[in-house]
Homo-oligomer: A and B are copies of this chain.
Amino acid sequence: MEILDGKLVAQAVKEKLKKETEQRAKNGKKIPHLAAVLIGNNGASETYVASKVKSCSEIGFKSTLIRLSEDISESQLLNKLNELNEDFDVDGILVQLPLPKHISEEKIIETIFPSKDVDGFHPESVGRMVQGLPTFYPATPYGILLLLEHYKIETKGKHAVVIGRSNIVGRPISIMLSKNEYPGNCTVTVCHSHTPNLKEICLQADIIIAALGKPEFLKADMVKPGSVVVDVGITRIEDSTKKSGFTIKGDVDFQAVSPKCSYITPVPGGVGPMTIAALMMNTFKACLAKDLA
């Protein structure tokens, strides 16, 4: 069993981007610039945005953190996003979700120019991904592909079972893994809460993507020996023994499942860091696209 080490691969991706960014600077080219919008002060959101900003500075990207108060109106936020859309120096825009209830997530996402939509959440980005046109892949599934690619895991003709059909992970990764390119060309089965025979289907899988958000859901008796298991879950569980007061659990019972796998991602240190690496890749590509424009 080999660990799919997201920390290590994310670091490798970031170092590659760092070198390319230094080269751009030397050649007098534009440096990638990510604008992150954080509304209110949700603990998890603070952590995510902080590590995105930190990654930018490690790589040498510019970043702008825009903090807005919880009670900002929808139209004020839309104005802010339009400003960022029009700002030539900003390559990528991300609005950390979730949003306060009085703001429409749909409206916010659709306001960001698809050319700056480095989260890959705009319907146009999603549609282009489905159709195989150049676009930004959503960060988490893109991070999973980068991870499989780094470990040169064969995907062609393999049976991938995706548990979960969310817009941000399950649905897009199921589409990406069945595309006619590497990593892809899998036979893909999408399972969800209405799948009656999940265990039976998982036992057929060469690759399992667990993205349902139920801690330690995937058990050893659901996994075929030699399979590749990617754990997308990150649920915070109260834990008084930890300084933070919580511990992070994935969707896979790692202790029991890992001995059966050829490859498996740990939680934390698997998909999580790859999500940020993928976001950095998207930001770099958004900047690159301006060279060509």
In the complex, A106 Cα to B122 Cα: how many Å? 18
A171 near B165: Cβ-Cβ < 8 Å: no
Partner of A131, one of B156, B167, B190, B197: B167
Interface residues on A, range: 35 or more
Q: What would 25 A/B residue contacts be, using CB atoms closer than 8 Å?
A: A122-B127, A123-B123, A123-B127, A123-B130, A123-B131, A124-B124, A124-B127, A126-B130, A126-B131, A130-B130, A130-B172, A130-B175, A132-B167, A157-B196, A159-B197, A165-B178, A165-B179, A165-B180, A185-B192, A185-B194, A186-B194, A187-B189, A188-B189, A188-B190, A189-B189
Partner of A106, one of B106, B133, B174: B133
- Interface members, chain A 181-228 (any B CB < 8 Å): 185-192, 194-197, 201
Query: Which chain B residues lie closer than 8 Å to A156 at the CB level?
Result: 194
A130 near B133: Cβ-Cβ < 8 Å: no
Prevailing SS type, chain A contact patch: mixed
Q: Does A128 contact B (CB under 8 A)?
A: yes
Given A125-B127, A185-B192; 8 other pairs, CB 8 A cutoff: A126-B131, A157-B196, A159-B197, A165-B178, A178-B192, A185-B194, A187-B192, A187-B201
Given the known interface contacts A123-B128, A123-B133, A130-B126, the answer about A190 and B178 at a Cβ–Cβ threshold of 8 Å is yes
- Interface members, chain A 90-128 (any B CB < 8 Å): 106, 122-128
Given the known interface contacts A123-B127, A124-B124, A126-B131, the answer about A175 and B185 at a Cβ–Cβ threshold of 8 Å is no
